[in-house]
Amino acid sequence: MKLRMPVAKEGIPFILIGGLVTFLFILAGMLLPASVFIYITLFIIWFFRDPERETQVKDATILSPADGTVVEVKKIEAEDSPISEKSIKVGIFMSIFNVHVNRIPVTGIIEKITYFPGKFLSADLDKASLNNERNMVIMRNSTGRTIAFVQVAGLIARRIVCKLHEGQTVKIGERFGLIRFGSRVDIYLPEDSELLVSSGDIVRAGKTCIGNLS
């Protein structure tokens, strides 16, 4: 079994900076600010935690792409949907207390990736899905069904990380990126999907089944 770091590598620069500042304060004999930065560094380590998760699912299962709270469940008309058909949008808000590593919701092939520059409104607002900086991924599963998921930057977040590329074959539950310091992930499912979550539900990336494809 391949050993992995318990934190996402994207967090290492922040951890090192926090540790360096703490060390410099200690060298200067400034114990109070050193104590503060020790806690800040520990929080950064905790924020970028990346736990292992086993995924056991059926072929039609759709897993949550993010940890957080479902803040929006909405029907979308075909002309407004990234999958070009009537769909169900599920918005998942990630607070600074959630694991921020994102995971693939279904097994399939990445068809298109589109980045949109934008604002940095609070990610729990519905309008953040259209106005904020975001990265949209459209993929097709083995039976030809199309879904989309969108990483949306939040009020604090300024950096979306997506490691996918078009044409890539991916497996459900695999890590594909993260958003730093508070954000949102929206997922668009075909309208005839069986939806298993509602607003207010707590979900976990790669573990919570949010629906089933027909």
Residues with catalytic annotation?
183
- Backbone φ and ψ of 18, nearest 5°: -60, -45
- Backbone φ and ψ of 69, nearest 5°: -115, 135
By three-state DSSP, how is residue 194 classified? strand
- Backbone φ and ψ of 36, nearest 5°: -60, -45
Half-sphere exposure of 191 (CA within 13 A, CB side): 10
β strands within the chain, DSSP E? 61-63, 68-76, 87-94, 101-103, 108-116, 134-141, 146-153, 160-162, 169-170, 175-179, 183-190, 194-195, 202-203, 209-212
Selection from 182, 177, 41 nearest residue 98 by Cα: 182
Q: What is the DSSP letter of 119?
A: B
Judge whether 179 and 161 are in contact, CB under 8 Å: yes
CA-atom Rg of the chain in angstroms: 18
